Amino acid sequence: MLALLFLLLASGSDVIGEVEDKKPNFVLMMVDDLGIGDVGCYGNDTIRTPNIDRLASEGVKLTQYIAAAPLCTPSRAAVMTGRYPLRSGMASTGRVQVLLFLGGSGGLPPNETTFAKRLQQHGYTTGLVGKWHLGVNCESRGDHCHHPNQHGFSYFYGLPFTLFNDCVPGEGSDVLVDIQLALQHLTLLLGLGLLTMVCVRLCGLLEVRLWLLVLLFFVSIVAAAVWYVPFGLLQTWNCIIMRNQDVIEQPMTVETLPQRLLAEAQSFIKRNADRPFLLFFSLAHIHTPLFTTPAFAGKSRHGRYGDNLEELDWIIGKITETVDSLGLANNTFMHFTSDHGGHLEDSDSLIGQKGGWNSIYKGGKAMGGWEGGIRVPGIFRWPGRLAAGKVVDEPTSLMDLYPTLKYLAKDTQPDRYLDGYNLMPLLEGKAARSKHKFMFHYCGGYLNAARWHPPDSNSIFKVHFFTPNFFPPGAGGCYDTKVCLCHGQHVTQHNPPLLYDLFHDPSEFRQLTPETEPRYAEILQQIAKAVEKHKSTFPSKEGSDEIQVQPNTIQNQMSWEKILWRPWLQPCCGTFPFCGCKEDKNIYK
């Protein structure tokens, strides 16, 4: 009997050891442009999000989860790498702050390291379903140097670019609208001039030489091509679906996109249920153009935006259901978040508000360091490992995801400089304070704001070195340009910087002064020292106080040279420029 008892105990300990040593799965779900105030568990009581709320009730909710940038491309670069986007050249000091053309050469540099690449090296099957928006090609159509497959994702299905208004006829354009109009007007003027000169010659009013007419004709053709080919065909060039490195639909059918992305995400989980996997499910919701799925149209109390949110919640529920039905819940780290805050300026008279609600927080998408553009939902569920219903109010960052995944995958290999920290001590309740004593906030490539969480206080002090100029004056956004800009006359510099205490004033409404805050001078001094230390971690030009991206150290991926469309880099289904194909929908039946 003693011998039998010993064997049972020994075998039991082996089983426990196997469970403890088993690598966890990761299901990371990122929404596009979702406001923190859009979700029920963050205070919204008029839009139904029961599935997202369930994740929060069964796991941990972060209330101060901060994106590294208030726009898609730089924020996603930071999530992937665990580093501020400036470190990989993914932050712009000019007008354009995101990638605009799939046929551009900018993107996440091939020598950057993503969390997918690290996990792939540790035996994980990795997949990305949905939006990428971090570039595709560098020098030729097929080099795929920025492609997800080159950044650690074994499988990719989705949008190498993003969903934007040009993908649906009649929804308007999001890409350099003023330049489009200027080129269009130039083309019309040249055409009108040519027609006028032809009439003058035919009527004999003036002697117009034939060579001049021919020259004007060819100039008009070139002007028309410069306008129409890159801009008039944007739906064909940018709105495509790829499976791995093959273009399988061009242009894509937007109406069926949500169902296809969901089916691909579910299929990836089911295919890899018996091995460690990482799924990054990067949804097309809730970016415009908004979907009009019949099952959800007109069902919410907030128009089309509310309909899309409730569809999004249903999708999250189906992914959770897939994980649970396969018996994977207790070994799967699930995460829900958004890349940045809601787009306040996006609305029209027909549909109404098309962007999100950022709750009590000031600002939104593309508004630099204002809280509404960078504070996003952060929910983690892992039954048996994370306590249900736990709330963490400490400052945390989307960049923390990278070191957290490394830790859970038992990746102890050396890495480059990281700006994020492992979240598990906070999530598991083993630590009460965040390691983010200071955090820095960028508007494009410019250091815009910073926060300090003193170790002896609950206060979280935040300074703004400059702020975007809202228009019209007194408005809560940049309604003239639709997105705020970060340079020149578009911003107001502050010296001394604006100072707020987010613990007592999360809406950044009451500016602190030496008369109202006893620690005023100390706060500015501590943050100034932290900024100098932060700057020292970047390469900088000699004699300059500003953080710079040097061509010989970090190549700027967001320059005009990198962003503008190049025909030889354009992904194409078929023979360029006759690109076009449709995915076989029968594979989803």
In whole angstroms, how large is the CA radius of gyration of the chain?
26
Asked whether the beta carbons of 103 and 130 are under 8 A apart, the reply is: no
Q: Could you report the per-residue pLDDT of 94-121, keeping only the tens digit for each? A: 899 999 999 999 999 999 999 999 999 9
Write out the two tokens for 72: 């898609």
Is residue 16 predicted with pLDDT exceeding 50? no
Q: CB 582: neighbour CB atoms within 10 A?
A: 13
Residue 285: active-site member = no
Query: CA nearest 341: which of 379, 374, 306, 308?
Result: 374
The mean per-residue pLDDT over the stretch 346-367 comes to: 91
Is residue 9 predicted with pLDDT exceeding 70? no
E strands along 405-522, which residues? 438-443, 446-452, 461-468, 491-501
pLDDT of residue 332: 98
The mean per-residue pLDDT over the stretch 46-55 comes to: 97
Cα 175 to its chain centre, rounded Å, is 17
The Cα–Cα gap between 341 and 131 comes to 17
Q: Could you report the per-residue pLDDT of 311-334, keeping only the tens digit for each? A: 999 999 999 999 999 999 999 999
pLDDT of residue 13: 39
pLDDT of residue 349: 77
- Mean pLDDT across the chain: 92
- The DSSP letter of residue 330 is G
The Cα–Cα gap between 431 and 426 comes to 5
pLDDT of residue 577: 93
297: which residues sit within 8 A by CB, 6+ positions away? 304, 307
Residue identified by tokens 């100039």 is 219
- The DSSP letter of residue 508 is -
The residue type of 507 is S
pLDDT of residue 21: 67
Long-range contact set of residues 20-24: C-beta below 8 Å, sequence gap at least 24: 22/331, 23/122, 23/123, 23/124, 23/276, 23/409, 23/410, 24/276, 24/331, 24/332, 24/333, 24/382, 24/408, 24/409
The mean per-residue pLDDT over the stretch 442-470 comes to: 96
Query: CA nearest 337: which of 400, 413, 410, 293?
Result: 400
Q: Could you report the per-residue pLDDT of 566-585, keeping only the tens digit for each? A: 999 999 999 999 999 999 87
The mean per-residue pLDDT over the stretch 199-206 comes to: 84
CA torsion sign for 339, 419, 92, 571 is: negative
Q: Could you report the per-residue pLDDT of 521-564, keeping only the tens digit for each? A: 999 999 999 999 999 998 765 434 454 443 346 889 999 999 99
Q: Could you report the per-residue pLDDT of 54-98, keeping only the tens digit for each? A: 999 999 999 999 999 999 999 999 999 999 999 999 999 889 999
Q: Which one from 72, 443, 572, 573 is the annotated catalytic residue?
A: 72
Relative to beta strand 491-501, strand 352-353 is unpaired
DSSP 519-562: THHHHHHHHHHHHHHHHTTS---TT--S----TTTS--TTSHHH
78: which residues sit within 8 A by CB, 6+ positions away? 67, 68, 69, 84, 85, 90, 398, 399, 419
Estimate the crossing angle of helix 401-408 against helix 72-81, to 10 degrees. 30
Q: Which helix (H) or strand (E) holds 29?
A: strand 25-31
pLDDT of residue 22: 86
DSSP 263-324: HHHHHHHHHTTTS-EEEEEE--TTSSSPP--TTTTT-SSSHHHHHHHHHHHHHHHHHHHHHH
Asked whether the beta carbons of 127 and 115 are under 8 A apart, the reply is: no
- Assign 370 to helix, strand or coil: coil
Q: Which one from 133, 144, 287, 453 is the annotated catalytic residue?
A: 133
Residue 133: active-site member = yes
The mean per-residue pLDDT over the stretch 155-184 comes to: 93
The Cα–Cα gap between 176 and 183 comes to 11
pLDDT of residue 540: 61
Cα 187 to its chain centre, rounded Å, is 35
